[in-house]
Structures are given as C-alpha cells and as structure tokens.
Amino acid sequence: MAKHATPLLDKLESGPWPSFVSDIKQEAANRNKNPKGLDYQIPKDCPEDLLGVLELSYVEKESHWKHGGIVGVFGYGGGVIGRYSDQPEKFPGVAHFHTMRVAQPSGKYYHSKFLRDLCDIWDLRGSGITNMHGSTGDIVLLGTQTPQLEEIFHELTHNMKVDLGGSGSNLRTPEACLGQSRCEYACYNTQGMCYQLTMDYQDELHRPAFPYKFKFKFDGCPNGCVCAMARSDFAVVGTWKDDIKIDQEKVKAYVGGAIKPNAGAHTNPKWGKFDIQAEVVNLCPTHCMKWDGSKLSIKTADCVRCMHCINTMPQALHIGDERGASILVGAKAPVVDGAQMGSLLVPFISCEEPYDEVKGVIEKIWDWWMEEGKNRERVGETMKRLSFQKLLEVTDIPAAAHHVKEPRSNPYIFFKEEEVPGGWTRDLDAYRKRHQR
Amino acid sequence: MAEKDVVVDFLKSKSASKSKFYFKDFQELFPDKGPRDVKKILTQLVNEEVLEFWSSGSTTMYGLKGAGKQSQAEGEG
Amino acid sequence: MAFISSGYNPEKPMENRITDIGPHKYDEYFPPVIKKNFGKWLYHEILEPGVLMHVAESGDKVYTVRVGGTRTMSITHIRELCDIADKYCGGYLRWTTRNNVEFMVTDEAAMKGLRDELNGRKFSGGSFKFPVGGTGAGISNMVHTQGWIHCHTPATDASGPVKCVMDAVFDDFKDMRLPSPVRIALACCINMCGAVHCSDIGLVGIHRKPPMVDHEWADQLCEIPLAVAACPTAAVRPTTVEYKGEKVKSIAIKEDRCMYCGNCYTMCPALPISDGDGDGIAIMVGGKVSNRISTPKFSKVVVGYIPNEPPRWPTLTKVVKHIVEVYAANANKYERIGDWAERIGWESFFKLTGLEFTHHLIDDFRDPAYYTWRQSTQFKF
C-alpha cells in the first residue's frame, strides 16, 4: 500500500513512453522490501514522499521546493545543490533533499561495475533516485541530507576514485560528444581534450572565482551533437582544411541505389529514389559541388564544411586529413539580454595533445573576464559590452574577415590614438594661422 | 595588515547588512593583486574554516562561516 | 537508523582527504571493439530505427541498440540496465547527450536478441522500460530540466509534460518518416538550465506574475541586499513598509521591470513566484545547433502561453503533435523545421499550422527586437 495516494501521477503510468512515475514507485517498493538489509541512512520512505510532494504540485500546479545555499563538501564551492521542501511536516522523507553532481566520463561510456558501485552508495546514503544525466552532463544524485554529503564524497573519492562535478560561478563539468570512439566524422579526439582540460582545470572547477558560470563543450564536427556552439561559453568544434575525400565508385553506388543515402536515416517512401543533383549538389549552401553523371567534384576553396554531403553519402565522402577545430566563444541561454550563439574566435587550431594551444586561448579569456567581467555576467555578455575587438586584443588574435558575417554598417569607428598620425594632441595656434575664428 | 585579516575585517564591517559577497568584491580589496592571487587568499581561508561558500546554484558567494540569516532559515545552522 | 561512517572524520576534514581527481578517464569503459578501432571508423548505417551499425577500417563492425531513457531514473532501473549490459555486452553501456542509453554488440544475431529483449520489457503500469528507437529522421528523446520534482523556480513540471509529449510522438521515436530529425526539449523556466533555445521544438515554462513580497518574513529570512543584487533587471529594491502597525524592513518589486526569472526567490524565500493560475508553457520552434546546410539558429516563440494542465497536458501535446504533422506534410526532405519556416515565410507557417499570431509573439525585449521586425515590402498575403 502506497504511503500517499497519487491519482494524478498514476495517469502518467499509461502510454508507451517509459514512465518515471512507475520507476519511482518501483524504487519505493524496493526500499520497503529492502532486499539487501540496509540500514538506510536517510528516510526509507523518501521515494514515496517524493511522489507525495509531486502529487501535491500536480494538484496545485506549483513547486514545493526551496533553494538552499549549502554547497556541501569541505573546500569545494560547487557540486552540491541544496534543496528543502516547503511542506516538511507532510513529507518528512524529503524535507532536506540535496543534489550531488558526480563527474561523468566524457562520452558517457560505463561498465556495469562502476554503475553498480554508485548505486550501492546511493542506495545506502541517498534516495535511490538519480538523473542520468543532468543538463551539463554530470551524473546527478537526487536527494540526500546534509550529514551524508561528506560521507558520500569520501566513498566516491576513496572507493570509486571519482570526483564531484561543478556548479556555481566556476568551470562547469565539461562535456564532449563520443568523438573518435564511434564516429567517422570526428575531426579530433573530443573525449581526450575534454578529459585533459577537465583534469588540468580541477581548481577552476571546484573553487569558484569567476564572475559567473563557464562551460566548455567539445563537438567533433560541425554536426554539433553536444550543442557546443549553442550551449557553451567556449565551444571547440572539429573541422578540417583540405579536400573532402571522395570515393567515386561509392558515389556511383549511391546514385545507382546500391547504398541507402543518408546512412539510412530516411525511411519515408514518399522521398522516392535518391537524386544526387537535387539532394546533395543543389542543397550545398555554397554551390561548390558538381555532378557530371559519373564524377562528383568539390571546389574546396568554396566549401564551408556544413557536413550535408558527407552525412548524405557517408560511405563515399570523408572528412579531410588536415584536421583541427574552430573555437567559438560566448554562447548562453536567454537570461538576461537574450540568447547568444558562440561567435567564431579561432577559425582553425591544432588539437594535438597536450592541447597547449587551446589552453592558451582559454587562459587569456579567463584572465580578461575575471578582471573585467561584472558579477553574474557570462563571457558572451562581457564580449558584447566591451566589444569583439577587445576579445581579439586580449587573446592576441588578429582580426580577419572570418570573424564577421558582414562588416559594420555604421562608420562610428573607435580609433585608438596611436592609430592616427600625430595622435590627438593638436596645435591650436597652428590651426588658427590657417583658419579664422 | 595580513592579507587574510583584510578579508575578515571587510566581512565583519559589512556584517550588519550582508554576509555574503561575490569574488569580485574581494578583488577590490586588493587592487594590486590579480584575481588568481586573491583566489589563493580566499581558498586558504576556506581551508582554515574561516570562510565558507554559499551558492545559488548558478553563482557562488563567500561569507564568514555560519554567518547570515540563510543558514538559520535552512535549519542546518 | 545507526549512522554508518565512511571513514570520514568531521573533526579533521583535511585528514586523508582526496580532492581534485576529476572523472574517470573516458577510455576506461570502452567495449573492446570501441577501444580497438578508436579513431578508425569508416562509416555507419542505421539498419532500422534505433539500431546503428558502425564499420571500422579494420572491417570490424559494432551494432548499437539505442533505447529511450527517462532522465529521472531509479537505481533499480539502472541495475536492470546493468543486468542487460552484463548479459549481452560484457557489462558495457553508454548514455547519449539526449538521455538515451546505448548497448553495443559485435554480432548481428546478438543485436537482434538484445533488441527484442529491450523492446519486451515493460513497467507494471504498462509503459515500455527500454523502447528501441530515437535515430535518423524521427524524434529522439527530449532533453529536459527538473520541474516540480526538484526545482524551486519552475513554471511547469518537466518529467510529466515530457512523458505526455513523448507518448504523443512515440510513433516518430520508433520511425524515421520525417523530412529531417526533430529535436524537442523542455526547460521548466526561462533560465533554461537545460538550454532549449536552439531546438526544433522548445517548450519553456513561463511565469506571468511577479513575485509576492512576504513583508512579515522578508527581513527575518533574507538578507535584503542579496535579493536586490540577484535581480537581472534591477526590479528589486529595499524599502521600509508598515506591517501590522510596525515599520519593517522589506523589499519592493517594480512589477513592470520583472522578467519572472525567480532569481530573487533563489536568494530569498520570502519572495515566492510560483502561481498555479499564472504559470504555463510557451512553445518555441525552428532552432537548430547543427551547421548542416543552414547555420545554427535560435528557436522562435510561436505560442505565447499554454496553461499547465496536469497530469496529461492535453493542449500542449496536441499543439506539439500538430506542428510535427504540418511540418511532416509540407517540408522538403532534409529541411529542419526552422529551414522550412524560413523558406515558406513565417506568415505561411502560421497560416499552415493555424496557430494564432498574437502581439505576444513580436519581440519587444531590448535591442535585438528591431532586427526581427519586417523592413521590407516582401511578404505573402
């Protein structure tokens, strides 16, 4: 018998999509049964109280959580988010219900041993409810009480050799696409760069000293599966400089229908037979391709590496060999001044270990932003306030036409004094000799 | 005055109105130091249990340990 | 309950403390075929919805079976995933950035057994535990935030509306009939801790009432300067008010400046913002993050407000499903929703979908607004 009646939530158990309500109920049942005979360190009925407080929200259409500023473990300024129920008497099991963020391996590959060990810690010391994963990419352990925070941290670090992730005004847990581990489009080792930078910047991740949050994301190619350009202050997006490699025999196989186009991603019969002219050549955004009936050619100088032709014929076309990445800076969600997409700062950078070139750019941006950024200002907003030119100046990157979609359409140019012959100190007497008042 | 005392005295002088401050507020106490050096001072104070962090989740602030109304309101103080 | 120590000594927090060790290295949990062929993959093919085959230069093949996962997940469920990974995949599995779970095997027959077993498991309530799908020109899993299950400033739930929307578009999770992939995401308030601002369909919780001020408790619960500093639009200021005959320190809100972000409530529980009648969801469409064909773009608001209708959010799911169907019937192959809307013009988008265009949909927020107005005589009647 459930502790709380949940008639509204019960309506979320039907339908085909996996039901989180059914799942929380099975955890509640598991804790009631306690098959491992655990001495639960937080209330046994917290999954039931979680359903109870959520049911109340479904009745009232209002949240019952309060934020807590507790950040958890000693010496760290992030990794724990404090949560309290505003109905603690009705739902004592979730009166205190803090979240812990655990650092995920980049690419999110796991072995069941790791996950089972984590589940065992969370069974004993937490609610048994998680997020796999949070928005930034961490494993989120959802719901425990303050005295357990250090205990969990101790067991994570000593027994599982894994650390907490970031929250607050610091480097957030970096995230990468699965990259070269299972994708032919990856132009660099996204997981390698993500891991190395995460390790090199542990202090920035755990001890907040930035004006606001700062996110790295690493996409292996312009398809952008981890949304680096839209979601991270510092986006590293794989690209290449030389020719797309073409296997003409395979192109013919696509044209002849021997290979399914677009890696089989389109199954609707209404699209009909593959038409290379209409589906690839004509859709190329720069019209840099030609198909003469037997040979596909690409004018590399005009190619902007949008990936469409490669995505459409992955067996015939392959990314070039002169590989690296573009860096785009300043993406953020809308609050306050509207959403921003990352702006291109470095058109091409080498991505070889130990990634010193990339780190050089990062550290110059941090030094500038930590000095000039206002409280709660993302670096994208600092850029808007102080200009893109300033970002170029502090990162020692020369201005190039790549940096803009178009040049400015106003002539209000802020020249520096040293850019003008003779500077700004002028001789009025000499002027007056030429001009009457 | 020792650097750590500058931080503690600043926090005590403000304690009537505000118990938590952004990192940048401390930078202003040390106009000759870069942010990384200021961070070292604050980190040391955190490790000595003089200061503690407070986070809104999206931002983080520093304050004297146990100070302020929030820790009482959270019932953890 | 007897407190069980991990070995941590609260008297000496720095004793034997391990810090700054970061995550496990990414290749620690690679299945052998992944480890062997790292950086040497040649091409891939989607064999059927939810099943991928990657072929390496070595000739090795890896079959991936992708299943939808709920972001909010119990350890009982994770242990079941582990059991399946142990049975078929040597214990290895991975998660995608869209909350899907992937199992990898090297044998086609094993893939089929694995696929069928995953499709066969159901919760006692009737829903699938591990539905196979989410690939290609279909609708993959939604990314989302916490909502009423754990957030303090949500304007809607997250897991619930996601369940309802995914139920409504489930056929497209299992199929690839659409012109292009459709990425749906939900953020339970405008802060968008799960950024949804570049999704094909972005659902965003919105508050519509400024916070209330609890004058009795404001000065007792909160440090007023912190609440003032938290406001991104300078709508919060300190004040003194008469409360029950006494002058008390409190807070005043300049209501026409408030953008309902809830940041002040984060700092001060005496400024509650949630409101059952005021809160709801806006629908944004046409965003993308990929650089494929067209450049990345933001989603645009096409429905300003839909009330919260728990437990099944019928209006929301109906509108989302309708947008998907109109798009499916009208867009060209390879066109994302935003590409299609731009090609036909947004006035045609509203005509085709029948969605009502209201004044709420015209941008009036600071400088960028002007650039969205029409400075041209080119438009469609």
Two structure tokens written together for C276? 């059952």
Q: How many Cβ atoms from other residues are within 10 Å of residue C257's Cβ?
A: 13
A to B CB pairs, distance under 8 Å: 92
A48 touching C (Cβ < 8 Å): no
Cα dihedral angle (C257, C259, C260, C262), rounded to 10 degrees? Answer: -90
Give the minimum alpha-carbon distance from A436 to chain C in angstroms, rounded to a whole number: 44
* Mean pLDDT, residues A226-235: 96
Give the minimum alpha-carbon distance from A395 to chain B in angstroms, rounded to a whole number: 17
Query: Which of B41, B42, B55, B61 has the most A C-beta neighbours within 10 Å, making it the best mutation to test the interface with A?
Result: B55
The owner of tokens 């202003």 is B28
Q: Give chain C positions within 8 Å (CB) of B17.
A: 223-225
Question: Residue A230 class from Cβ within 10 Å (0-12 exposed, 13-18 middle, 19+ buried)?
Answer: buried
Question: From C262, which residue of chain B is nearest by alpha-carbon distance?
Answer: B56
Q: Give chain C positions within 8 Å (CB) of B58.
A: 191, 193
- pLDDT, residue B75, reads 62
Split at pLDDT 50, 70, 90, the class of A400 is very high
Question: From C265, which residue of chain B is nearest by alpha-carbon distance?
Answer: B56
Cis peptide before A16 (omega within 30 of 0): no
Angstrom distance (rounded) from CA A316 to CA A259: 10
Q: Which of A71, A82, A375 sits opposite B24 (nearest CB)?
A: A375
The owner of tokens 């085709």 is C352
Angstrom distance (rounded) from CA A48 to CA A52: 6
Two structure tokens written together for B67? 């100070």
* Mean pLDDT, residues A295-322: 98
A135 touching B (Cβ < 8 Å): no
B17 touching C (Cβ < 8 Å): yes
What single-letter amino acid sits at C96? T
C-alpha dihedral sign at C107, C113, C115, C121: negative
Q: Which of B24, B43, B70 sits opposite A69 (nearest CB)?
A: B70
Split at pLDDT 50, 70, 90, the class of A72 is confident
Q: How many Cβ atoms from other residues are within 10 Å of residue C100's Cβ?
A: 21
- pLDDT tens for each residue of C333-362: 999 999 999 999 999 999 999 999 999 999
A20–C333 CB contact, under 8 Å: no
- Among candidates B54, B46, B60, which has minimal Cα distance to B74? B54
Using only C-alpha atoms, chain C has a radius of gyration, in whole angstroms, of 25
Phi, psi of C61 (to 5 degrees): -125, 145
A144 touching C (Cβ < 8 Å): no
Phi, psi of C180 (to 5 degrees): -165, 170
A224–C312 CB contact, under 8 Å: no
Residue A196 has pLDDT above 60, yes or no: yes
A130–C72 CB contact, under 8 Å: yes
Give the minimum alpha-carbon distance from C339 to chain A in angstroms, rounded to a whole number: 12
Question: From B71, which residue of chain C is nearest by alpha-carbon distance?
Answer: C221
Give the minimum alpha-carbon distance from B1 to chain A in angstroms, rounded to a whole number: 23
Two structure tokens written together for A82? 């404090």
* Mean pLDDT, residues A278-288: 98
Give the minimum alpha-carbon distance from B41 to chain C in angstroms, rounded to a whole number: 18
Q: Which of A104, A112, A224 sits opposite C23 (nearest CB)?
A: A104
Per-residue buried b or exposed e for A127-154, using 16+ beta carbons within 10 Å of the residue's own CB:
bbbbbbbbbbbbbbbbbbbbebbbbbbb
Q: Give chain C positions within 8 Å (CB) of A128.
A: 74-76
- Among candidates C134, C178, C141, which has minimal Cα distance to C162? C141
Show which subunits contact B, needing at least 3 CB pairs below 8 angstroms. A, C
Concatenating the DSSP letter of every residue in A73-113 gives: STT-SSSEEEEEES-TTT-GGGSB-EEEEEPPPTT-EEEHH
A to C CB pairs, distance under 8 Å: 444
- pLDDT tens for each residue of C188-228: 999 888 778 999 999 999 999 999 999 999 999 899 999 99
Question: From C333, which residue of chain A is nearest by alpha-carbon distance?
Answer: A271
Residue A336 has pLDDT above 80, yes or no: no
B55 touching C (Cβ < 8 Å): no
Q: Which of B24, B55, B75 sits opposite A77 (nearest CB)?
A: B55
The whole-chain average pLDDT of chain A stands at: 96
Two structure tokens written together for A183? 């994708």
A173: Cβ–Cβ under 8 A, 6 or more apart, which residues? A101, A103, A104, A136, A137, A138, A165, A166, A198, A205, C23
Angstrom distance (rounded) from CA A227 to CA A206: 24
C45–A263 CB contact, under 8 Å: yes
Distance of CA C180 to the CA centre of its chain: 19
pTM of this prediction exceeds 0.80: yes
Angstrom distance (rounded) from CA C143 to CA C203: 10
Strand partners, C253: C236
Q: Give chain A positions within 8 Å (CB) of C157.
A: 54, 57-58
- pLDDT tens for each residue of C18-35: 999 999 999 999 999 999
- pLDDT, residue C135, reads 98
What single-letter amino acid sits at C197? H
Helices A379-386 and A356-372 meet at what angle, rounded to 10?
A: 70
Query: CA dist A3 to A23, A45, A52, A90, A94, Å?
Result: 16, 8, 8, 11, 13
Per-residue buried b or exposed e for C14-40, using 16+ beta carbons within 10 Å of the residue's own CB:
eeebebebbbbebbebbbebbeebbee
Query: Which of A111, A136, A286 has the most C C-beta neighbours within 10 Å, making it the best mutation to test the interface with C?
Result: A111
- pLDDT tens for each residue of C307-338: 999 999 999 999 999 999 999 999 999 999 99
Residue B72 has pLDDT above 70, yes or no: no
Split at pLDDT 50, 70, 90, the class of B77 is very low
Angstrom distance (rounded) from CA C254 to CA C331: 45
A63 touching C (Cβ < 8 Å): yes
C263–B56 CB contact, under 8 Å: yes
C125–A135 CB contact, under 8 Å: no
Segment (H or E) for A329: strand A323-329
Q: Which of A69, A146, A367 sits opposite B54 (nearest CB)?
A: A69
- 3-state DSSP call for residue C47? strand
A234: Cβ–Cβ under 8 A, 6 or more apart, which residues? A214, A215, A216, A217, A327, A329, A362, A365, A379
Question: From C218, which residue of chain B is nearest by alpha-carbon distance?
Answer: B69
- Among candidates C175, C141, C5, C26, which has minimal Cα distance to C72? C141
- pLDDT tens for each residue of B46-69: 999 999 999 988 899 999 998 887
- 3-state DSSP call for residue A429? helix
* Mean pLDDT, residues A228-244: 97
Q: Which of A96, A169, A371 sits opposite B59 (nearest CB)?
A: A169
Q: How many Cβ atoms from other residues are within 10 Å of residue C86's Cβ?
A: 16
Give the minimum alpha-carbon distance from A371 to chain C in angstroms, rounded to a whole number: 20
B70 touching C (Cβ < 8 Å): yes
A304 secondary structure, DSSP code: -
- pLDDT, residue B16, reads 85
Split at pLDDT 50, 70, 90, the class of B76 is low
Helix, strand, coil % in chain C, rounded to nearest 5: 30, 20, 45
Query: Which of B20, B44, B47 has the most C C-beta neighbours within 10 Å, making it the best mutation to test the interface with C?
Result: B20
- 3-state DSSP call for residue C326? helix
B19 touching C (Cβ < 8 Å): yes
Q: Give chain A positions within 8 Å (CB) of C182.
A: none
Query: CA dist C326 to A108, C113, C331, Å?
Result: 36, 37, 8
- pLDDT, residue B70, reads 66
Could you tell me if C230 and C211 are in contact, meaning their C-beta atoms sit under 8 angstroms apart? no
A71 touching B (Cβ < 8 Å): yes
Question: From A72, which residue of chain B is nearest by alpha-carbon distance?
Answer: B53
Cis peptide before C225 (omega within 30 of 0): no
Split at pLDDT 50, 70, 90, the class of C294 is very high
In percent, the amount of chain A with pLDDT more than 70 equals 100
